[in-house]
Amino acid sequence: MPVLAIHDLSCYSKSSLTVVLPVLEALSVETAVLPSALLSTQTDGFDDIYVRDNLDSMKAIISCFERLELSFDGIYTGYIGSADEIELVRDFVSSSSCPILVDPVMGDGGELYQTVDSKAVDATIRLVRKAGIITPNWTEAEIITDLGYRGKKATGTMIRDEIKVLKSLGPGKGVITGIPLESGGLGNAAWDGDEIRLFQYEDEGVSFPGSGDLFASLLFGLLIKGDSFFGSVLHATDIATYAVHMTKKAGRERRLGIMLSPVMDEIRRRML
């Protein structure tokens, strides 16, 4: 059976489904999609953006899935265009018994994305409660927990505080990604039950759109293939940071998003 990826489709630049689908397929994970919104470009770095709400189509597609009695080995959600769409997805995943990974895409760099409003934030937090695994970045973790750490470099105590609140919402596993560490560099902090591990890596000085989608897609795909949780976090961290390094090295304009072509062979070499 395939997995289901519920993400937006950006027509220009690499992020969301244009990252998720090829990465999962590179891991030999058959993937069905449910587009949550249609965007002219990804939202980070472009001022003039067309966004089409896909609520009616999502309702019709889900109804077809249900009539056909389709099932999935896992469900992975990312950016969802509106509070109404998020509530629809929440109802849909609530009736599923498969593993659910929610990437609560809302913002980065201490700020909400320009297309995310307070209703979408509240709905996303409700969706997080339905997830088994979540992958917020440091900004999104703080949006969810509201502990006052947004924009600050993290200490071990701050990371543990964030994870404690995130766990209290329901997800037994998760990763806070892209944490700016007070000790220097960046880190991904993963938890599985009461165990917490920090995966540190070099700060390249630039964050490319789509890199979070790449990390979460790698993590989800590896878990679906049966790899251990912390092992999957390690491999996903290694590949995602390699992709950022190669994208920076190529001199790519930031708003065009993460480059996939240089890393697809690397994904296959390391993972398969």
Q: Quick one: 87 exposed, middle or buried, by C-beta within 10 A (0-12, 13-18, 19+)?
A: middle
First to last CA, the chain: 19
Domains delineated in the chain: 3-271 (3.40.1190.20)
Tens digit of each residue's pLDDT (9 = 90 or more) over 59-92: 999 999 999 999 999 999 999 989 999 999 999 9
pLDDT of residue 68: 97
| Closest CA relative to residue 177, chosen from 217, 148, 146, 130 | 217
Q: For residues 5 and 69, what is the distance between their CA atoms, to the nearest angstrom? A: 17
The structure's pTM equals 0.95
* Residue 109 in this model has a pLDDT that exceeds 90: no
**Which of 103-117, 127-141, 257-271 shows the lowest per-residue confidence on average (mean pLDDT)?**
257-271
